[in-house]
Amino acid sequence: MQVLVLENSPLAPVGHFGAWLEAARGATLRLQPGPEMPADWAEGPLPEADLIVSLGSPKAAYDADAWIATQRRLLTRWIAAERPVVGICFGAQMIASAIGGSVAPIGTFHEGWMETQEAPSALWRGPWVRWHGDHVAVPEGTEVLARSEDTIQAFRHRRALGVQFHPEANAGCVGAWLGFTPAERLAAKGLSPEAILAQTRERDGSDATRREALFTEMLTLIGL
């Protein structure tokens, strides 16, 4: 399996998901920095890949950067061609905007390990790491798989799957995110950076079976 990984920020690598794709599916990962995407991907031949994975970013899907417009157009064409794609956090928001949905600020931030209130199973309920301040609306015909705190946390449209939470995130990722997150904002929710990081380090190992089961379901949902 050839996997095109759109790494939209060095702060949000493919992490556990990439390691699982290589080990469990024999995947070859091709990393493409999102901000350096070829401009002709907007209208030229589709990239050679069996799967696209679009990852997180501090940027927003509604920002005016040229590379974001290029990626949106690529995903619109890829999904219309019935090709499989997984989007995580910013990547999920890019899928939503590519299929005719919308993305907007929540007015607050989801941070740390959180359970999903409405989920198809305990596996999807989590808890999983969240780190986002935007939410999506999706067009008619999109299957909403999970919701929490008035936000869509997972959805499927054709062979595109978007998840707002971060099953791919490891302690390295979360440590980087804590570095730019105001400690006082976390404290107002009763959270501490040290506790979140310690929990993530522990779950890097203890959650492996649960995480891999989720990755398997994610790919099954898009026909892989």
How far apart CA 153 and CA 185 sit, in angstroms, is 22
Instruction: List % helix, strand, coil for the chain (3-state, nearest 5).
Output: 40, 25, 35
Told to judge if 89 belongs to the known catalytic residues of this protein, a careful annotator would answer yes
| Closest of 118, 166, 129 to residue 9, by C-alpha | 166
End-to-end CA distance of the chain: 10
Q: Choosing from 110, 111, 157, 168, which is the catalytic residue?
A: 168
* Single-letter amino acid code for the residue at 12: A
β partners of residue 104:
135
Angle (CA) 30-157-91 rounded to 5° is 40
- Give the containing element (helix H, strand E) for 114: strand 102-114
Contact 168, 86 (CB under 8 A): no
Q: Choosing from 7, 16, 89, 110, which is the catalytic residue?
A: 89
Angle (CA) 129-223-74 rounded to 5° is 75
Residues annotated as catalytic (active site), given as ranges: 89, 166, 168
